[in-house]
Amino acid sequence: MNTGNDYGRKIQLLQDMHGNMSNYDLAEKAGISKSAITAIKNKDRAPRIDTLDAISAAFDMTTPDFLLMDTVPCEKETLTPRERLLIEAKRKSKNNPRLKELFAYLDYLIDKGDL
């Protein structure tokens, strides 16, 4: 089960992964108040589902993906340039039908056990 701390760690990790996005920038992109972001990160309150939806969308991910994400970051030094490119392409696939189709096929192969 997620605690407020888990939500805060996930938000901070995603902010770091998105070029050290500020709480203000995240709040603007998500359409919620900066104080809401701060309260969640400081464990002052647990986010409502609509707040989680907005935060997830601000990071171009679904709420289930946000909830299931691991809070242990990958060390950038351990990723190859190809792996970094694939991660960035996956993030952008939401807005690109061809990439979305490609990653859907890759997900299928992974689920099937072929990758």
- Distances 78 to 74, 75, 81, 84, 93 between C-alpha atoms, Å: 7, 5, 10, 10, 23
Q: For residue range 34-84, what is the model confidence (pLDDT) as tens digits? A: 999 999 999 888 899 999 999 999 999 999 989 988 766 555 557 777 777
Domains of the chain, first to last: 4-68 (1.10.260.40), 76-112 (no CATH)
Crossing angle, helix 34-41 and helix 23-30, to 10 degrees?
120
Choose between 22 and 17: higher pLDDT. Answer: 22
Residue 113, pLDDT score: 77
pTM: 0.60
Residue 40, pLDDT score: 93
In sign, the C-alpha dihedral spanning 113, 100, 9, 84 is: positive
Residue 33, pLDDT score: 95
